[in-house]
Amino acid sequence: MPELAPPWWSSAVVYQIYPRSFADANGDGIGDLRGIINHLDHIAGLGADVLWLSPIYRSPQDDNGYDISDYQDIDPLFGTLADFDELLARAHERGLKLIMDLVVNHTSDEHAWFVESRDPASPKRDWYIWRPAREGFEPGTPGAEPTNWGSFFGGSAWEYDEASGEYYLHLFSRKQPDLNWENPDVRAAVYAMMNWWVDRGADGFRMDVINLISKTYPLADGAVAPGQPFSFEIDKVANGPRLVEFLEEMNHAVGLTDKQLFTVGEMVSCDVDHARAYTSREHDRLGMVFTFEHVSLDQGPGGKLDPRPLHLPDLKKNLALWQEGLYGEGWNSLYFENHDQPRSVSRLGDDSEEYRIASAKALATALHLHQGTPYVYQGQEIGMTNAGFTTIEQYADIEALGQFKQMVDAGADPEALLAGLGKMSRDNARTPMPWTPEGGFTDATPWLPLNPTTPTINVASDGADPHGVSAYYRELIRLRHELPVVQMGRFDLLLPEDERLWAFTRTWGEDRLLVVINMTSALAGVPMAELPDIEDARLLLTNLSTGQDLQTLQPWEARVYALSV
């Protein structure tokens, strides 16, 4: 078999937009498609190649659009199909591809499919996962749920439907019933919808929790962790026995590989072996995956609301494991931030006034010089920090509110939970995009409060600074576009146990890069004897100084060298 040419996304950078929080053009306090159109030059100016839109479909907005009631219409909050068509055309004019957020593990309970499915006599009854009460229990009473599974958003994963006397499965909100992918009619309807968007001009899909579409049957109780009211035994619902079959069927039905469409699958509980199987170019499945492993390393037994200090060697070695495991056999996504994660400069860096900019650049250096496709989440390119919320009333996120209530009801300390939310809540990433020192997001009251740092951390101020975070992102993206060693080079981790330094090499033929980063807010000595010789090296990029002396790195200093081979 001849060696395949690298896919186009091996040199691409993705910019993610959370439309609700990006830019409001119609003055209702909520971001919209027209607002995105107005700011496309900002994204193109960074050098990004792909624009990923979080869901813009018609939705009751129970989970900010991840509960879809019509896959083939735009929610009036965001605009119209005509607005979408204009956005697509304007993006393409700027060389930007546009990918849709595909949410097909579940729909809204207000989707026409589910409305029909509520009738036990309907042909669509089997489009969702309905089950009778547990044997020996009165339907609708505590403990009568068909299994002991918990919802990711708190409470049981089963909702009782009085009209039919049965329960439906919802791994997320009760307003997000899971589709029954075992039913071929469901799959055919999903593929038809995907083809409709491709025919309209969409360039691919980010697939939400796509490895949950194949469950393990028969559905059965799972193990319950101490102190938990429900089971979260992920193997019952993720990476099921028919997942590969479904992914290949989808690929062929939509022509994902044949049309070189961009695909990334968000994967709950996905290890390197799974990712290799799902993204190998020997098969027609996915282009790449999102893994959660590296963004779970700072979580304690209580999950996101139980944060722990991150041990740098753990992060370095986890990412290195993925680099080595997928090299030449699969492809990975590179991310620290998205709409579900807190701000990386607050989580992994130092968001103080003194070190915010340097640490934002250091983190970007580490991420963008791994192999894979990097993702930049709106605001990350200016070093946005966490929201700084201190009361539960400030939060809008259904996950935060549901988990907070469940854990308080179980006896957890509300203040400790609030501290956890302050560090890890999804709303940290969802505060409106600060375009100017005054805000610039909307003329109305924003749907979520602006970040208090807006007067100093905003697009205009950062863009006016030749040493700003966004200027540095442009340099990193330029390196990826221009250097095959960044796109395709082998990754080798150096100093794996060092708790201060992140060092690695990238090698492609005669080209070799050395990356050394001080990941602390203190001076860090560099063990030169354990690194490649830099005597004849050329300094390609640095976030602080231009000196060649590598003996000591300043706080959050990053250096990228081209080595002589």
DSSP string across 420-475: HHHHH-GGGGTSPP--BTTB-S-SS--SSPPPTTTTTSSHHHHHH-TTSHHHHHHH
Tell me how far apart the alpha carbons of residues 255 and 386 are, in angstroms, rounded to a whole number: 40
Residue appearing with tokens 């792909």: 50
Q: Are residues 247 and 301 in the same domain?
A: yes
- Element containing residue 192 per DSSP (H, E): helix 184-200
For residue 32, the enclosing domain spans 11-107+184-471
Residue 96 lies in a domain: yes
Q: Are residues 205 and 72 in the same domain?
A: yes
Q: Tell me: the pLDDT tens digits for 233-260?
A: 999 999 999 999 999 999 999 999 999 9
Tell me how far apart the alpha carbons of residues 181 and 173 are, in angstroms, rounded to a whole number: 19
Burial of 218 (0-12, 13-18, 19+ CB in 10 A): exposed
Residue 479 lies in a domain: no
Tell me how far apart the alpha carbons of residues 476 and 180 are, in angstroms, rounded to a whole number: 43
> Closest Cα partner for 488 from 515, 512, 514?
512
Tell me how far apart the alpha carbons of residues 276 and 274 are, in angstroms, rounded to a whole number: 5
Q: Are residues 152 and 55 in the same domain?
A: no
Q: Are residues 29 and 100 in the same domain?
A: yes
- Output the domain CATH number for residue 401: 3.20.20.80
Q: Are residues 135 and 60 in the same domain?
A: no
Residue 290 lies in a domain: yes
Phi, psi for residue 3 in degrees, rounded to 5: -65, 135
Q: Are residues 257 and 369 in the same domain?
A: yes
Tell me how far apart the alpha carbons of residues 208 and 67 are, in angstroms, rounded to a whole number: 11
Residue 132 lies in a domain: yes
Residue 478 lies in a domain: no
* Among 418, 437, 471, residue at a domain's last position: 471
Tell me how far apart the alpha carbons of residues 349 and 136 are, in angstroms, rounded to a whole number: 54
Tell me how far apart the alpha carbons of residues 339 and 346 are, in angstroms, rounded to a whole number: 15
Q: What is the pLDDT of residue 565?
A: 66
Q: Using an 8 Å Cβ cutoff, are 205 and 261 in contact?
A: yes
Q: Are residues 31 and 145 in the same domain?
A: no
DSSP-derived 3-state class of residue 236: helix
Tell me how far apart the alpha carbons of residues 54 and 65 are, in angstroms, rounded to a whole number: 8
DSSP-derived 3-state class of residue 83: helix
- Element containing residue 299 per DSSP (H, E): strand 299-300
Whether residue 218 is preceded by a cis peptide bond, meaning omega within 30 degrees of 0, is yes
| Residue 27, token pair as written in the block | 């003055």
Tell me how far apart the alpha carbons of residues 469 and 453 are, in angstroms, rounded to a whole number: 15
Query: What parts of the chain have a pLDDT lower than 70?
Result: 1-4, 546-548, 565
Number of domains in the chain: 3
- Element containing residue 167 per DSSP (H, E): strand 166-169
Q: What is the pLDDT of residue 2?
A: 42
- Output the domain CATH number for residue 537: 2.60.40.1180
Phi, psi for residue 304 in degrees, rounded to 5: -60, -30
* Among 160, 180, 200, residue at a domain's last position: 180
- Element containing residue 117 per DSSP (H, E): helix 112-117
Q: What is the pLDDT of residue 547?
A: 63
Q: Are residues 282 and 369 in the same domain?
A: yes
- CA 378 from centroid of its chain's CA atoms: 12
DSSP-derived 3-state class of residue 530: helix
Q: Are residues 164 and 175 in the same domain?
A: yes
Residue 508 lies in a domain: yes
Residue 82 lies in a domain: yes
Report the amino acid identity of residue 107: T
Tell me how far apart the alpha carbons of residues 274 and 270 are, in angstroms, rounded to a whole number: 6
Residues known to be catalytic: 208, 266
Tell me how far apart the alpha carbons of residues 83 and 506 are, in angstroms, rounded to a whole number: 43
Q: Are residues 554 and 420 in the same domain?
A: no
Q: What is the pLDDT of residue 447?
A: 95
Cα-Cα-Cα-Cα torsion 376, 318, 206, 208, nearest 10 degrees, comes to -120
- Output the domain CATH number for residue 145: 3.90.400.10
Residue 211 lies in a domain: yes
Q: Are residues 49 and 71 in the same domain?
A: yes
* Among 417, 437, 471, residue at a domain's last position: 471
Q: What is the pLDDT of residue 311?
A: 97
Q: Are residues 309 and 190 in the same domain?
A: yes
Q: What is the pLDDT of residue 301?
A: 83
